[in-house]
Amino acid sequence: MWGGRFAEGPSAVMREINASIPFDKRMWRQDLAGSRAHAEMLGAQGIITADDAKAIGFGLDALASEYDEQGVPENLALEDIHMAAEHRLAEMIGPAAGRLHTARSRNDQVATDFRLWVRDAVDQAEAALGALQDALLARAEEHAESVMPGFTHLQVAQPVTLGHHLMAYFEMFARDRSRLRDARARMNLCPLGSAALAGTGFAIDRDATAAALGFDGPTRNSLDSVSDRDFAIEYLTCAAQTALHLSRLAEEFVIWASQPFGFVSLSDQWSTGSSIMPQKRNPDAAELVRGHSGRITGALVSLMITMKGLPLAYSKDMQDDKPPVFEAHDLLGLSIAAMTGMVESATFRRTRMRAAAETGFSTATDLADWLVREAGVPFREAHHITGRAVARADAAGLRLDQLDLAALQEIDDRIDGGVYGVLSVDASVSSRTSFGGTAPARVRESVKAARRAREEEA
Ligand code: ARG
């Protein structure tokens, strides 16, 4: 298609290094949609005849059915999806196909196709995350009262409820979705009509093509338009951050499913066995979600490094933008679906979680707070007194609520029997009623509010 000024064809290696058809054929729908919008606009503006525009339109429809049924052939000589589609169109409709590329370059074409593709990817990721949020909501509601240890430094800190813990992830995914929506709004401008880099002398209507492709309007600078891949980087940024959150949740499942913890057992559907140890049930999917987050972040780094030294406008390096985006998108989709399945089907073991919450003197803060509230002790002093009570219990091999009153009063005589009302894990979680706190009533409230917000979105 560009052979006019060449006497010889490219070497086999040149052909191979140059070709993007093996991966960019994935954008065939976007490519045909872009061509359809462009051809209609050329016809409407009188740049090509109405007959040619109509022939191209029919041809593109036929080509779409052909690709749909048979896939896109990988002919390296045709380089990329843009040339492959145009070549096949010419075979199908004849010379009219040669008018399609009027007032267009592959540079604005690929920028348009890729934006359309990434825009769909954003929508898919957002919807999938919404389903994961719904799964978390259901389990959080079910476990609004299930007590488990809350950790800092992975040391038992204070009792919390599982519902509260799961809702923490709901919040992370809410931020991820909001970032995806922001990115979508910013990327939704159409580069088509920027041509190779400088715009075109033909009387094109960029508003029309932008509208036909569902964009909010045309991009404003032709040089920027053909060289901008911010939209892909932003998508990968969102994907990497989402994957990071998925990885943290996956890690919790790995820890919780281990025998010493035993907080959760994953359903058979989400467990794997060992080829040598017959007793094993491994959380492979959770581990792979954790692993995939590394590859997704790698995709972001890969594209940023590809782009960082490029002068304006288009350079062929930019052809390398697609593989990391496609890979990250596939891995992200799998990871979200796997986490959703695990959350939906996991069995949380309340007794184990409660027993663990009762270890580690998890209600020590409640004792200190009681001294502040009931005996007017300054918090620093209350902290010290409680530390002594913990040391005493630890030495005796008892929980705090198992120390008798005489032992507690020996440490500080301002303590009375009322203190036992705050030393149980249930009393502890129920008392944390501050906005955003772990009290079951608060958790139920937050589930309800979140569910209302989800319904309003729908
Ligand atoms: N396959 C190319 C890409 O993905 C399309 C643009 C080619 N433009 C060019 N000037 N060679 O980037």
| Ligand 1 proximity of 81 Cβ (cutoff 6 Å) | no
Ligand 1 centre to CA of 106 (Å) is 6
pLDDT in tens, 380-425: 999 999 999 999 999 999 999 999 999 999 999 999 999 999 999 9
Asked if the model's pLDDT at residue 221 lies above 90, the reply is yes
| Ligand 1 proximity of 253 Cβ (cutoff 6 Å) | no
pLDDT in tens, 294-326: 999 999 999 999 999 999 999 999 999 999 999
Q: Which residue's CA lies nearest to atom 4 of ligand 1?
A: 319
Please say whether the beta carbons of 346 and 265 come within 8 A.
yes
| pLDDT number for residue 413 | 95
pLDDT in tens, 258-270: 999 999 999 889 8
| pLDDT number for residue 179 | 98
Q: Could you give the percent of the chain with pLDDT greater than 90?
A: 94
| pLDDT number for residue 406 | 96
Please say whether the beta carbons of 296 and 239 come within 8 A.
yes
| Ligand 1 proximity of 430 Cβ (cutoff 6 Å) | no
Catalytic residue (choose from 65, 153, 275, 434): 153
Mean model confidence pLDDT for the chain: 97
Mean pLDDT of 217-239: 98
- Is there a catalytic annotation at residue 143? no
Could you tell me how far CA 106 lies from the centroid of its own chain?
Answer: 30
pLDDT in tens, 336-377: 999 999 999 999 999 999 999 999 999 999 999 999 999 999
Asked if the model's pLDDT at residue 238 lies above 80, the reply is yes
pLDDT in tens, 143-154: 999 999 999 999
Q: Assign 279 a pLDDT band (cuts: 50, 70, 90).
A: confident
| pLDDT number for residue 182 | 98
- Is there a catalytic annotation at residue 267? no
For 212, the enclosing helix (H) or strand (E) is: helix 206-212
| pLDDT number for residue 274 | 82
Q: Is 280 exposed, middle or buried (0-12, 13-18, 19+ CB in 10 A)?
A: exposed
CB pairs under 8 A, 24+ apart, for 53-62?
A: 55/93, 55/94, 55/96, 56/89, 56/93, 56/96, 56/97, 56/99, 56/100, 58/93, 59/89, 59/92, 59/93, 59/96, 59/97, 60/32, 60/35, 60/36, 60/89, 62/92
Catalytic residue (choose from 178, 258, 267, 274): 274
| pLDDT number for residue 454 | 93
| pLDDT number for residue 445 | 98
Ligand 1 centre to CA of 34 (Å) is 15
| pLDDT number for residue 264 | 97
Q: Assign 281 a pLDDT band (cuts: 50, 70, 90).
A: confident
| pLDDT number for residue 89 | 98
Q: Assign 273 a pLDDT band (cuts: 50, 70, 90).
A: confident
Mean pLDDT of 435-442: 98
Which of 21, 228, 319 for mutating ligand 1's site (highest number of atoms within 8 Å of CB)? 319
| pLDDT number for residue 3 | 78
Asked if the model's pLDDT at residue 121 lies above 90, the reply is yes
Q: Which residue's CA lies nearest to atom 11 of ligand 1?
A: 316
Q: Assign 188 a pLDDT band (cuts: 50, 70, 90).
A: very high
Asked if the model's pLDDT at residue 1 lies above 80, the reply is no
pLDDT in tens, 40-70: 999 999 999 999 999 999 999 999 999 999 9
Q: Which residue's CA lies nearest to atom 10 of ligand 1?
A: 107
| pLDDT number for residue 250 | 98
Ligand 1 centre to CA of 372 (Å) is 70
**Helix 230-257 and helix 322-345: axis angle, to 10°?**
30
Ligand 1 centre to CA of 105 (Å) is 9
∠ CA 446-290-335, nearest 5°, is 70
